[in-house]
Chain A
């Protein structure tokens, strides 16, 4: 059985990426050159990170990750006794404030099938990300239901943490150096990668072959930056992930680019779609928290360690993801998955 997202390979790739792309794709904000859309969708061209990147001739390049802040995967190590008994949070800590409030305020996605979505039958928000939040809630309150969900479009995930409107964000959030400058991340709990979704039967094999076509992406997502290297693709930006699937189904865009996890959820909802091409990026998912609340980050990391060790992570993986990444054509694993090991040292 092969290892699931091996840490060593990821680190090697990260270092290689830093060398290859220093001053390139790394850590630069995607500034749209033009915006012509109205309402919830807009067509905008994300600028390449520096200058005009040439159209890639090959998509087999190794996925890369900005490492100018060290490894974006590295978080704060949980200290000794970082996981007190539920309901007995340390005096003066962020966790005690949350405990006194009586609920954990969490930012989530409500339309990312598998990770965070509103179940239309029950009306409840469910998914892999939500299971992690429940574990954090259980660790603070002894009750996994003491959560106030705040549904966020992708472009609000960072601002609500900076403004302190939510305690934590669990919404397929990639840990990047650029974001580390604004918020803090937990240790990585899932390794995803950006890919492309097209209609089944399409002759397109990768993003490079989509010149002149419309590709949907969520605003301010890490996926948007990749499109900066493909200036001939017409980029359609939306606020919500599911808007991309709706536009794809309505024939208003030719493809969607996002994380393979998200696209697998799309394929589960639309059997006429397929995920193609290799992973173009590394997207290490971590829980986002305020940069000022390092004690909460250490606490959450302790919870995540417990989740990795007691089988909660695997159970959650089997329940929500299983072999859906494979079914979607998005790769992944078929056996018992292994959670990414935590990396500390920040």
Chain B
């Protein structure tokens, strides 16, 4: 081996193999870098949609709970349409849980917990409704149980799942960022190896240029330049998306969940008539979450209404003032009325505004994800082809020099 390497043909053959392998390695690794980026972006997209999906499931059940709680506050029978909406929301929730069951064992375990709590919630709320219909005050105990299953069982699990998906999505964003760095590293290494051998070749042969090696080096350089530009562009799009529609979507989704929970709590506080310190404190926490989420969404996107919660919050403050001043009936009227000045209408405007912004931002996010993913596969294929060609040219370049020794 030492004899082989000490001879010029042997060194030339070894150089040829190293340069060809380096170029092929660059092509393969570059191609994989693009694949990793493409896959990471697709996963980030999917995980974000999953996170929003979990929040959507939670929104549906909280919405159903807010409606039935409001009916309980008003007294009397639940309107038939409202009952149907409640049942439909719970059916959607069950379906959503089945669809959300992926291959993640931890998520499956959590979803099983949610499912178990959902069964208990459904049973408790149905019993509350049945007792309420007969005029039995034990309905309030079942209503408390249902609220506990929802707020201490279903909601924390779904919120934890959404947070977990958001965390995984952030990891995928980071993975995509690393793919650019790795591609640059592979490219510069390959370029360095080719330039080094070209310099050694020029020095040993006293010829400045070896044309095929020059083509191979230029091929790698071009692929590296083009690929890096493509990666940078994709990363720029991803950064814009992450700071923009992605953050806005996540924040709006959280704001909506907090909003529906707070609406049900508004009714529960009135039902408890001064005996709901825990619910009052939870309401305040939810309002803080809404404010924080809307601030994030506003920073990330362009909300048409900068403060959609302000009107409902003002009505809520009037309700609390009336209740604390002893005018409970007026407080209930303001909370339950369908008139445009009541809490129901104000909340509807809030939920519609946030819902509409969420739909818009979610669609924008999907479109931006697709845009950021476009061209990556083609670019990866281009880099692979460049690497193969560069490898071939490098081999050819060394072959020309070897020919001179025959």
| A-to-B contact residues, CB < 8 Å | 39-40, 102-103, 105, 110-113, 117-125, 147-153, 156, 240, 242-243, 245-246, 249, 265-266, 269-270
Contact = CB atoms under 8 A, between A and B. Distances in A.
B366 interface: no
Given A119-B135, A121-B135, A111 B141 contact: yes
B275 A152 contact: yes
Interface in B319-356: 326, 328, 332
B278 to A, nearest CB: 10
10 contacts: A110-B137, A111-B141, A112-B137, A119-B137, A122-B76, A148-B328, A240-B140, A240-B141, A269-B136, A269-B138
Interface string B223-242: 00000000000000000000
A119 B142 CA distance: 15
Contacts of A103: 326
A153 B135 contact: no
Interface stretch (B144-152, B250-258, B302-310): B144-152
Contact of A113 (B74, B136, B273): B136
A40 B73 CA distance: 21
B326 A123 contact: no
A102 B273 contact: no
B75 interface: yes
A64 B321 CA distance: 46
Contact of A120 (B139, B141, B145): B139
A266 to B, nearest CB: 8
A130 B137 CA distance: 15
B273 A246 contact: no
A105 B324 CA distance: 10
Complex A-B, nearest 4 residue pairs according to Cβ-Cβ distance, in ascending order: A123-B75, A148-B326, A150-B274, A246-B141
A252 to B, nearest CB: 11
Contacts of A124: 75
Nearest to B274: A150
Contacts of A147: 326
B38 interface: no
Given A111-B141, A150-B275, 6 more contacts: A113-B136, A118-B140, A149-B273, A153-B275, A156-B275, A246-B138
Contact of B148 (A39, A110, A270): A39
B72 interface: yes
Interface string B54-81: 0000000000000000001111100000
Contacts of B122: none
A242 B75 contact: no
Chain B contact surface mostly: helix
Nearest to B76: A121
A316 to B, nearest CB: 18
Contact of A121 (B75, B140, B272, B326): B75
Q: Which of B138, B140, B141, B332 has the most chain A CB atoms closer than 10 A to its own CB?
A: B138
B117 interface: no
A316 B100 CA distance: 56
B75 A122 contact: yes
Given A39-B148, A123-B73, A245 B275 contact: no
Interface residues of B, number: 30
A240 B131 contact: no
A133 to B, nearest CB: 13
Contacts of A152: 274-275
Interface string B257-272: 0000000000000011
Contact of B140 (A40, A105, A122, A242): A242
B328 A110 contact: no
Nearest to B137: A117
B180 interface: no
Contacts of B272: 110, 151
A162 to B, nearest CB: 16
A330 B274 CA distance: 32
A98 B73 CA distance: 28
A149 B326 CA distance: 8
A151 B144 CA distance: 14
Interface string B139-180: 111101100100010000000000000000000000000000
Given A148-B326, A150-B273, A151-B275, A120 B144 contact: no
A113 B326 contact: no
B137 A118 contact: yes
B273 A120 contact: no
A265 B271 CA distance: 20
Contact of B141 (A102, A149, A151, A245): A245
Contacts of A265: 137
Contacts of A121: 75-76, 135
Contacts of B140: 110-111, 118, 240, 242
